[in-house]
């Protein structure tokens, strides 16, 4: 008798824990598993090691950008300029690499270092401009980054004259772009420390607490003595820099500087973050959720490719999924506050 009772109690607490975890990440893990099962049934090659590595290669760029986007979303903003930053980085870093390798034809690593430096500078400057607009001029992030997206795009086209930049260093294209280590693409290895750093920043460092606080209620953060301006600018700088890094890796992948690279990233990165549980009102979301969100979008795109669903249809599906995720998010937060008001 007593045995069965404790058994039942254990079960309900386990169910409660599961429910809490589901509420935390929404229905995403479940939907993700369903997608994987469906795609696997549709095409047995889906979960093959070749395709899995392929998905890692495809997803790593979005993963970096979505992590950056998350920082800005947590602080209560947006960054619509991530696509333009990718293109700008691609051109600037490619031109730097080509220029340095023309000057020092014997060195393979010097041009790559120059490209890396140009990438960092592009990201930091772009982020400072966005952060300045949001934190100092106090213009809505939507407008600021929409405007800077246009500016960065214009600058990209002016300095590239709309042309590709080719002649990148061999080691850049074949080492970073398509190289592998232990079977895993080089760009994934390079992205990994950045992703870990962002995880630490968000969940284990003061920085994360402060951007959550700013996003949740900027006035209460002021009253608690948080340096709003510094942390807002820092989140935009980090977002743009991570985005630039992603753009640099993507440039290696496509083996040339491309002025039209990355147009899909603003939508996809926000979609991944929101699907992963970030609130558009700020102050809510977790790294693991965004991680799952990016995997979901990558799996969806890759799986539909394998099922020979055209990219035009994929755009339609992504749009529907995004709206669905936002509605789910509202249901989730609605149920949370509902139980709260019940207790009052």
Partner 1 sequence: MSEAAKARSEGEVFASLSGVSKFYGSYAALKDVSLTLRRGEVHMLLGENGAGKSTLVSLLTGANRPDEGEVTLLGRRVEGLTPAYAREAGVNAVLQDFALAPTMTVAENYALGREETWGGLLSTRTMREQAVAAMAAIGVALDPDLRVDRLSRAEQQLLEIVRALGGKPGALILDEPTATLSHDESERLFAAVLKLRAEGWAILYISHRMEEIRRLGDVVTILRDGRLTGHHRLSEVTNEKMVAEMVGRDMGHFYPDIMPRPGNVAFETRALKAGGRLKDASLNARYGEIVGIGGLVGCGKAEVARAAFGLVPVDGGSVWLDGAEVTGVGPRAMLARGFIYLPQDRRGEALALNRSIAENITMEVIGRSGGLGLLAYSKLSSIVSDLVRRLNISPAQPDKQVQELSGGNQQKVVLGRALSLPRKVYVFDEPTSGIDVAARRDFYDQLSALVANGAAILLISSDLQELVHLSHRVYVMQEGVCVAHLQGEAITEDAVVSHAFGAAA
Per rule CB under 8 A, is residue 328 in the interface with partner 1? Answer: no
> How near is the Cβ of 70 to partner 1 at its closest, in Å?
16
Per rule CB under 8 A, is residue 221 in the interface with partner 1? Answer: yes
In the chain the first and final C-alpha atoms are separated, in Å, by 37
> What part of residues 226-255 is at the interface with partner 1 (CB under 8 A)?
226-227
Of 1 and 342, CB closest to partner 1: 342
Sole binder of partner 1 in the list 75, 122, 279, 298 (CB under 8 A)? 279
CB of 240 closer than 8 Å to CB of 68? yes
**Token pair belonging to 335:** 């149920």
**Token pair belonging to 77:** 């903003």
Per rule CB under 8 A, is residue 329 in the interface with partner 1? Answer: no
Query: Looking up tokens 């500087």, which residue turns up?
Result: 257
> How near is the Cβ of 36 to partner 1 at its closest, in Å?
31
Residue 294 DSSP class: H
CB of 272 closer than 8 Å to CB of 299? no
> How near is the Cβ of 340 to partner 1 at its closest, in Å?
4
Sole binder of partner 1 in the list 194, 213, 244, 325 (CB under 8 A)? 213
Window of 32-40, 119-127, 173-181, 333-341 that interacts with partner 1 by CB under 8 A: 333-341
> How near is the Cβ of 210 to partner 1 at its closest, in Å?
8
Residue 266 DSSP class: H
Window of 24-32, 94-102, 180-188, 334-342 that interacts with partner 1 by CB under 8 A: 334-342
CB of 83 closer than 8 Å to CB of 247? no
What is the pattern of x (binds partner 1, CB under 8 A) and - over residues 282-321?
-xx-------------------------------------
Per rule CB under 8 A, is residue 209 in the interface with partner 1? Answer: yes
Per rule CB under 8 A, is residue 224 in the interface with partner 1? Answer: yes
Window of 34-42, 168-176, 201-209, 289-297 that interacts with partner 1 by CB under 8 A: 201-209
Of 16 and 117, CB closest to partner 1: 16
Per rule CB under 8 A, is residue 199 in the interface with partner 1? Answer: no
d(CA 324, CA 118): 39
Per rule CB under 8 A, is residue 334 in the interface with partner 1? Answer: no
Q: How far is CA 340 from the centre of its chain?
A: 32
The count of other CB atoms within 10 Å of the CB of residue 199 is 18
Instruction: Kindly state the greatest CA–CA separation across the chain.
Output: 84
- The crossing angle, in degrees rounded to 10, of helices 206-216 and 186-204 is 70
Sole binder of partner 1 in the list 219, 308, 312, 334 (CB under 8 A)? 219
Q: How far is CA 186 from the centre of its chain?
A: 18
Per rule CB under 8 A, is residue 340 in the interface with partner 1? Answer: yes
> How near is the Cβ of 208 to partner 1 at its closest, in Å?
8
Of 207 and 245, CB closest to partner 1: 207
Q: What are phi and psi of 165, to 5 degrees?
A: -110, 115
Closest by alpha carbon to 124, among 249, 240, 250? 240
CB of 293 closer than 8 Å to CB of 273? yes
Q: Total number of residues binding partner 1 (CB under 8 A)?
A: 31
d(CA 194, CA 279): 23
Q: What are phi and psi of 257, to 5 degrees?
A: -75, 125
Q: Which residues bind partner 1 (CB under 8 A)?
A: 200, 204-207, 209, 212-213, 216-217, 219-227, 279, 283-284, 333, 336-337, 339-344
């Amino acid at each position: 008798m007593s045995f069965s009772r404790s058994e039942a109690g254990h079960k309900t607490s386990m169910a409660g824990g599961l429910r809490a975890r589901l509420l935390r990440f929404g229905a995403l893990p479940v939907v993700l598993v369903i997608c994987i099962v469906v795609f696997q049934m549709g095409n047995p090659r889906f979960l093959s090691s070749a395709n899995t590595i392929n998905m890692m290669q495809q997803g790593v760029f979005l993963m970096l950008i979505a992590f950056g986007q998350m920082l800005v979303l947590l602080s209560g903003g947006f960054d619509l300029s991530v696509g333009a930053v990718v293109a700008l980085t691609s051109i600037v870093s490619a031109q730097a690499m080509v220029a340095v390798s023309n000057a020092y034809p014997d060195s393979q690593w010097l041009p790559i270092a120059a490209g890396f430096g140009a990438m960092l500078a592009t990201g930091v400057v772009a982020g400072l401009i966005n952060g300045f607009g949001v934190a100092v001029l106090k213009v809505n992030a939507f407008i600021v980054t929409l405007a800077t997206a246009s500016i960065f795009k214009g600058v990209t086209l002016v300095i590239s004259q709309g042309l590709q930049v080719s002649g990148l260093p061999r080691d850049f294209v074949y080492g970073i772009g398509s190289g592998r280590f232990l079977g895993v693409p080089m760009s994934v290895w390079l992205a990994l420390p950045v992703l870990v750093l962002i995880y630490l920043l968000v969940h284990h460092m003061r920085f994360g607490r402060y951007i959550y606080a700013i996003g949740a209620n900027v006035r209460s953060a002021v009253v608690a003595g948080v340096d709003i301006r510094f942390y807002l600018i820092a989140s935009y700088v980090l977002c743009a820099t991570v985005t630039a890094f992603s753009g640099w890796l993507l440039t290696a992948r496509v083996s040339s500087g491309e002025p039209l690279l990355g147009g899909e990233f603003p939508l996809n990165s926000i979609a991944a973050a929101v699907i992963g549980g970030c609130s558009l009102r700020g102050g809510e979301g977790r790294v693991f959720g965004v991680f799952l969100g990016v995997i979901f979008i990558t799996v969806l795109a890759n799986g539909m490719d394998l099922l020979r669903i055209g990219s035009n249809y994929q755009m339609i599906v992504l749009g529907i999924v995004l709206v669905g995720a936002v509605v789910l998010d509202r249901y989730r937060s609605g149920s949370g506050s509902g139980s709260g008001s019940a207790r009052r």
